[in-house]
Structure 1
Amino acid sequence: MSIAMIDTERATSLYNILRQERERGFDDRAVIGGLDAFLQRFSGDLVAYVGSSGRYAEMSAEERSDWATRVVRRMRDAGVSVRSGSAPASPAPGNVLPRAEKQAPRRKSAPRKPPAPRRPLELSDDVTLMKGVWQKLLPRLHKLDVNTVGDLVHLFPSRHNDFTSVRTVSQLTPGDNQTAILTVWEARQTMLGRQKSTQAVLGDDTGNIRATWFNNPWVANQIKHGVQVVLSGKVNVFRGNLVFEAPEYEILDDRDNLVHTGRLVPVYPSTQGLSQRVLRSLVKRALDATIDRVDEFLPADLLHRTGLIGLVNAMRQIHYPDDWDAEKAAKRRLAFDEFFLLQTSVIRRRNDWREENRGIPISVDNGVIESFLGSLPFDLTGAQNRSLQEVLSDLRSDRAMSRLLQGDVGSGKTVVAAAAMLGVVRDGKQAALMAPTEILAEQHFLTICGLLSGAGYDPTGGYIQRLDVEGIERKVVVALLLGAHRKRIRDDLRSLMSAGMIDIVIGTHALIQEGVDIPNLALAVVDEQHRFGVQQRQTLREKGERPHLLAMSATPIPRSLSLTVYGDLDVSVIDEMPPGRQTTRTRFIENDRRDSAYAFIRKEIREGRQAFVVCPLIEESEVIQTKAAQEEYARLSEEIYPEYSVGLLHGRMSLNEKEDVMDSFKEREIDVLVSTPVVEVGIDVPNATVMLIDGAERFGLSQLHQFRGRVGRGEYRGHCLLLSESPGAEALRRLKLLEHISDGFRLAEEDLKLRG
């Protein structure tokens, strides 16, 4: 078979594929594997017709239609048959690419009805109804949670590129983002290395400049000789000449309607296989089609009083701002909307709770509470007393309590919760405390048992403690329920709870599992409440009949945000530290002074103290996190502190292994404890005075503040050392805040300012 015949056969096959593509709406499914695979396989035979116009899969339906029309026209100009047989064909009237070959009808058919006019797009319409959304694009849009046209409108940009600086060629300078309006003198496809690319020469009255688009040969087909285009991007120097490298480009039809260039251009969150150019075009199309259907829900007088712009204007300006002031005004309006809707939601939830949930009033015996407080080896602070009275007042009410007890690390929240649980137990009811981790649950179990029974508490009694409590005639039974318990222990505890024989149960998520019944539950305490979902807290409440809820948090939140975030809760704040508690000194130490940090720890150990070393945070994998801790443990024990006892604690240990390590640390058998971030909360070792945090820039301010709260809990001052290899400017500012601010609430306010 001759080469000419092969060429003709390939061209005829391509024509038939393109005809089917038109019939299918250009969905790239007329040939198995997609049209690009067919073109690549027979590129040598078809290059004269298809050129190098880019990947078919990445074109919109409209671009595919235009491209197919050009290809068929080139075939006809070359005298190639464009019928599915071998005979030459004359051009079909009308469309260059006909929809189908005409065949003699077997019978007369009814005339086709004209297509119904397309209705305007709605925000609720499926995104597939939009022009330019083809099948292969859908999975990528779904990864961005884009399912409807409205989702595209609400896909706000993460930032904007400033392409507003329009300059002439003579004014362009290397390194900056710049925009130029130029005429195309030449644009051609070329090979740069092994990549098909586009090179163009463009100019204006002041000079010429070269532009290069690597691995984008189809650009040459878009920008033709003599066309005016807008280029935006960085200008570099190559062999002494200025060059636009991979700039955004737009053919200049309407300077006031530019999308990719010549303005503040949005940069959206994206995903692999979805270019900014395609995403930007889709969002602009959705915005133009539906923006007038966005309803303003704030009254005019509120907008006037607050100086906010209208919602429609804000939606336009957040995507395509006229200038930076307009972008700031749009962000302010949309941020206001988020807070406003969040606050109205939590207030509605709070009102619903008050109306629908009548609580069980607790007859709190003041004498028992006073006896308990009198048995403690310390006096409550004024803030603790105030918070306790607020909690007890709620317990006495017939409205179910929903209160947050917020206090800094070491401020004494646990003793307030213990007093409240004791008041419930004295009235013949049950109480439960749920903690986010087993280590923290066990710590609470030991602490609460010690508080209730005083100096006579013997911690060797296992998971069930029967305590003598001042002011209560009978034994108070306190139990610890963990998922790590053996099945027999869990079953025994569940039976005792369901029989009402356990007064206070402390545990983790195991408390809310099926089969756990706490029939007389009157008070549910949730520690570190932000780590639990709303549904988890609600499940705990459902273990009893309308129990009171006390949530505790040691994570400071700015006072300016507390009403919005905790609008559905009454808030009690313990804003005093116990007398005599010294503030922990915090220092930032650069990585090249790591030896001085190790020397300081050695000095503290010689004086009889102990230290924590927290390994860098590795969010991707707990396995990798554990391995890093094991390697650091080996290095410190063998190279840095071979003369001292070094221990290891990580999240993949069994509960018994963790207990053994913590017991050894408390008994001063371990001098340096290497740990993953599991020590953030719940560890109380009064003799520990140093907290060294490696890779401190990887943690949030709140976490770092929690870490340093683990030391200096005894008679000696605590020290927190922040090690960091190469923190950026913003991370360094955050770490420096910890050096100067010890109050968690003030720290949270400053953190909020840094975040803008």
Structure 2
Amino acid sequence: TRLEKLGISTVGNLLNHYPHRYDDYTALKSISQLEFGEEATVVGTIWETRTRTTRSGGALITSVIADASGTVEAVWFNQPYLVKQLRAGRRIVLSGKIDEHLGRLRLQSPAWEPLEKELIHTGRLVPVYPLTRGITSRWLRKLIKRVVDHWTPRLQDHLPETVRTRAGLMDLNKAVRQIHFPDNQEAAVEARRRLSFDEFFFIQLGMLHRRQQWQRQAAAPLPRDEGLLSSFLASLPFQLTEAQQRSLEHILGDLARSEPMSRLLQGDVGSGKTVVATAAALMAVAQGKQVALMAPTEILAEQHHRTVLDLLAGMGEGGMQRPVSVELLTGSVPRPERTRVYAALASGEIDIVVGTQALIQRQLTFHDLALVIVDEQHRFGVLQRGTLRSKGSAPHMLVMSATPIPRSLALTLYGDLEISVIDELPPGRQPIVTRWLLPTERERAYGFVLSQVEKGRQAFVLYPLVQESDKIEARAAVEEYERLRQTIFPRLRLGLLHGRMKAREKDGIMARFRAGEIDVLVSTSVIEVGIDVPNATVMLIEGADRFGLAQLHQFRGRVGRGAHQSYCLLLSDLASPDDPNTR
């Protein structure tokens, strides 16, 4: 049915089909007080209603409404049935926008209803619901009003009165009534607050229940191997920060227990989460177990694979009886190589596998998976993470995120996880300077990019689209790459990177950029995660208003990965820095 297209198949669905806004028709005015352009409500008596055919063949219905102060016309298009309903002498309430026609004020297509009934469509805060084709606002509003009136008195409040009183919350039945048909703005706000509380409350309950279920399982303890850990840390060309050491201690403590670890490692881009995860992985390998590290994109998986290999290279065997075996598994791995990796994982020859969603394929099995590491975990669904976890016998899980999460929100959304935060950058890293630029300052931004390249640095120029679109007013990477190459930076070496390129092409471009053979990389959001080029110091983002805050944070994290001062420049043709929506 049409209601099912809105996700409505039960009474409960209807009660939970909340309005996305309200039309404020509470301003009741006499006809003589009406002003052009305002939203208003009038109460009057119908003097007459007539209909005529327009030039296009449609029906135009006109009613003359009167009160003690004067008269006003109301018009409706293509609703001939109104002639019978809007009978002369009937008292009605009309709400809508005041228009003007031939110098006279009128109401165009106003909502109306008889004065003798309880007002649903006029004279109040009128709920506006999400709709689908074939369902009108008026019909759905009347249906929901009947359901609300009949069922809200029968709702049982799941929150104890003591909790409601302490938090200053409405009763559930009152909140449902007021979210649909509020008495005033304050009641609508309080109803929303109560229902929002319930949503977070149930999320928290679900998370705690999942955590309880998980902790009932028995995991293989992975005790701390002090000799191996010391050998690994001594082999690094840097010392861990205090925040890294603190987070590592949390993780090692979890791994040593017989209940499976569930921990979120949160840290800014470049804060050193991978080295902490690698140290944890070694504890599993030391016990003859396997580790899986899953990343959301091939570029990020390849970067993690290189990073883990580099981190382990300086250690040699370092107390291990044999070198640690690390393999990469993504969708781009050729079939013969993939078959070999599958067999080696099943036999236990591979210690650590780094990959994308290729790791959760049904035919992939592990010999003894004891630790699962998921990077940028918000990019994966619960089922994807659960599928990887199910490939072991209650393996420990470490999830990592560079997206800044307020602690109160983290405890709600990730209530099934313990949280460790790396809240400091490695020595020598400088904060990234971020600036919002007006469209008129674009040439200045280009000049700054040129000055940085002349100092031996590299830059990204990022666009929201691959190619120009008739539907979206935004600059596109392919066209802008040609313009930049020919007219803005003719003396520089430019490269182009976007998601429609083949994996081999993308790898080639990235290899050249890392090697310093490309000065400016023109790209789309394909670089959101997984790009590590310490010499890149400028991120110029075009159409910045088209990206979310989490994306912008990730883009900015592509620079500032070396010792040089780095910059993030935000540009938009549509918004200004003074626009609160943009902020």
* TM-score with structure 2 setting the length: 0.96
Q: Answer whether contact 1:588 1:735 (CA < 8 A) is retained.
A: no
2:309 aligned with 1:446: no
Q: 1:620 to 1:183 in 2, by over 3 A?
A: farther
Alpha-carbon distance, 1:620 to partner: 13
1:268 aligns with 2:143: no
1:617–1:699: 8 Å Cα contact kept in structure 2?
no
Q: 1:388 and 2:236 equivalent? A: no
Aligned residues: 581
Match of 2:329 among 481, 486, 503: 481
Mapped to 2, the partners of 1:605 and 1:274 lie a distance apart of 58
- Distance in structure 1 (CA, Å) of the matches to 2:16 and 2:225: 55
Change (3 A) 1:172 1:260: same
Distance 1:469 1:586, change over 3 A: farther
Superposition deviation, residue 239 in structure 1: 2.1
- List aligned pairs for 1:167-182, cutoff 5 A: 167-182=29-44
The reply to whether residue 213 of structure 1 matches residue 213 of structure 2 is no
Indicate the residue corresponding to 1:430 in structure 2: 290
Aligned mate of 1:401, from 261, 280, 288: 261
Cα-Cα RMSD: 2.1
Kindly provide the amino acid, as one letter, of the partner of residue 33 in structure 2: Q
Read off the aligned partner of 1:315 and give its amino acid letter. V
Partner Cα separation in structure 1 for residue 267 and residue 61 of structure 2:
62
Deviations 1:649-673 (A, max 9, x none): 1112222211110010011111111
* Conservation of the 8 A alpha-carbon contact between 2:464 and 2:474: no
Q: Name the SS of the counterpart of 2:399 in structure 1.
A: strand
CA separation of 1:734 and 1:607: change in aligned 2, threshold 3 A: farther
Asked if 1:501 is matched to 2:501, the reply is: no
- 1:152 corresponds, among 8, 14, 34, to 14
Q: Of 634, 657, 668, which aligns to 2:505?
A: 657
Distance 2:158 2:475 in 1: 53
Between Structure 1 and Structure 2, whose CA radius of gyration is higher? 1
CA deviation map 1:692-732 (0-9, x unaligned): 111101111111011111112112111111111112789x4
Change in CA separation of 1:587 and 1:734 when aligned onto 2, cut-off 3 Å:
farther
Matches within 5 A, 1:133-144: 138=1, 140-144=2-6
Greater fraction helix: 1
Q: Which runs of 5+ in 2 are unaligned?
A: none
Superposed, which structure 2 residues align to 1:89-104 within 5 Å?
A: none
Pick the aligned partner of 1:259 from 106, 113, 120: 120
Offset at 1:385?
0.4
Correspondence list, 1:299-318, <5 A: 299-318=160-179
Cα pair distance change 1:636/1:552, threshold 3 Å: same
Corresponding residue for 1:569?
Answer: 417
Q: Deviations over 1:627-683 (max 9, x none)?
A: 932222222212222221111111122222111100100111111111110111110
The within-5 A match list for 1:660-699 is: 660-699=508-547
Q: Deviations over 1:550-603 (max 9, x none)?
A: 111111211121111111111111111112211111111122322211111111
Provide structure 1 residue ranges, at least 5 long, that are not aligned to the other structure.
1-137, 455-466, 737-756
Paired AA for residue 718 in structure 1 = S
Match of 2:456 in 1: 608
Query: Which residue of structure 2 lines up, in the alignment, with residue 200 of structure 1?
Result: 63
Letter in 2 for 1:203: A
2:554 aligns to what? Answer: 706
Contact map agreement 2:466 2:477 (CA 8 A) in 1:
no
Aligned-pair distance for 1:373?
A: 1.0
Q: Is the counterpart of residue 417 in structure 1 residue 277 in structure 2?
A: yes
User: Match of 1:338?
Assistant: 199
2:156 is matched with 295
Once residues 700 and 618 of structure 1 are traced to their aligned partners in structure 2, the CA distance between those partners, rounded to angstroms, is 18
Q: Does 1:191 align with 2:39?
A: no
Q: Distance in 1 between matches of 2:316 and 2:214?
A: 37
Shift of 1:240: 1.9
Would you say the 8 A contact 1:625–1:676 is kept in 2? no
C-alpha distance in 1 between matches for 2:576 and 2:123? 31
| CA separation of 1:627 and 1:593: change in aligned 2, threshold 3 A | closer
One-letter code of the match for 1:248? A
Of residues 625, 639, 653, the one that matches 2:487 is 639
- 1:435 touches 1:526 (CA, 8 Å); kept in 2? yes
Structure 2 partner of 1:6: none
Distance 2:79 2:42 in 1: 20
Q: 1:302 to 1:146 in 2, by over 3 A?
A: same
- 2: CA distance, partners of 1:609 / 1:219: 71
Deviation at 1:626, TM superposition (A): 13
- Partners of 2:410 and 2:64 lie apart in 1 by 59
Letter in 2 for 1:701: L
Which stretch has the larger CA shift, 158-167 or 531-540?
Answer: 531-540
Q: Alpha carbons of 1:470 and 1:620: their partners in 2 closer, same or farther (altered >3 Å)?
A: farther
Residues 406 and 556, structure 1, Cα contact 8 Å, conserved in 2: yes
Q: Which residue of 164, 174, 178 corresponds with 2:26?
A: 164
1:369 to partner: Cα distance = 0.8
1:145 is matched by which residue type in structure 2?
Answer: G
Structure 1 residues 327 and 728: CA distance shift in structure 2, 3 A? farther
Please tell me the residue identity of whatever aligns with 2:23.
N
Pairwise CA distance, 1:616: 1.7
Inter-partner Cα distance in structure 2 for 1:656 and 1:617: 21
1:733 to 1:373, Cα distance in 2 relative to 1, 3 A: farther
What amino acid does structure 2 have at the position aligned with 1:147? S
- The partner residue of 2:94 within 231, 253, 260 is 231
Separation of aligned partners in 1, 2:475 and 2:542: 15
Q: Deviations over 1:268-296 (max 9, x none)?
A: 01122322111111111221222222211
Answer whether contact 2:475 2:543 (CA < 8 A) is retained.
Answer: no
Instruction: Tell me the residue number matched to 1:549.
Output: 397
**What displacement does 1:533 show?**
1.5
- The residue aligned with 2:379 is 531
Cα shift at 1:625: 12
SS at structure 2 position matched to 1:309:
coil
Which secondary structure does the structure 2 equivalent of 1:266 belong to?
Answer: strand
* Runs of 4+ off more than 3 Å: 617-621, 623-628, 732-736
% identical aligned pairs: 52
**Which residue identity does 1:213 align to in structure 2?**
W
TM-score normalised by the chain length of structure 1:
0.75
Deviation at 1:418, TM superposition (A): 0.5
> What is aligned with 1:592?
440
Q: Give the distance between the partners of 1:734 and 1:604, measured in 2 at CA.
A: 31
CA contact (8 A) 2:152 2:174 kept: no
* Counterparts in 2 of 1:381 and 1:729: CA distance versus 1, 3 Å: closer
How far apart are the structure 1 equivalents of 2:46 and 2:473?
55
- Partner residue of 1:363? 223
- What CA distance in whole angstroms lies between the structure 1 residues aligned with 2:86 and 2:147? 26
User: Equivalent residue of 2:476, what SS?
Assistant: helix
Does structure 2 conserve the Cα–Cα contact (< 8 Å) formed by 1:498 and 1:519? yes
